[in-house]
Amino acid sequence: MSASSDRPDCFSDLDSVFPLGADGLRVTPESCMQCAHKTPCLRTAMGGGRGWRVREEMVDRAYRGGVIGFFQRWSQKKNIARQRKSIQEECHGENDH
């Protein structure tokens, strides 16, 4: 546990709470499933900068698996990029004030 709160040290660390498995898929470890902080932890991890890459991985995997077509993949990746840019602009705008 970290000294500043009751959250564990691994809180929102994407590599700890949603690591890439040997099969190339991301999985939540069993130890996280029993943690009282699992939902806010994973949400915080996915909301960070690396969470965008995970979303793009999911879209690419769906495309490769034939679940979505080219145009849907393009549209979803464009939407992810737009959301990321919007959030980055908001964050930079706050620092300017």
Q: Which pLDDT tens digits describe the chain residue by residue (97 residues)?
A: 544 568 999 999 999 999 988 888 899 999 999 999 999 999 999 987 789 989 999 999 999 999 999 999 999 999 999 988 888 787 777 554 4
Q: What are phi and psi of 2, to 5 degrees?
A: -80, 155
Residue 73, both tokens: 């993949």
Percent helix, strand and coil across the chain, each to the nearest 5: 65, 0, 35
* Alpha carbon distance 90, 5 (integer Å): 27
8 Å CB contact between 76 and 68: yes
Q: Which residue is it, tokens 């898929």?
A: 25
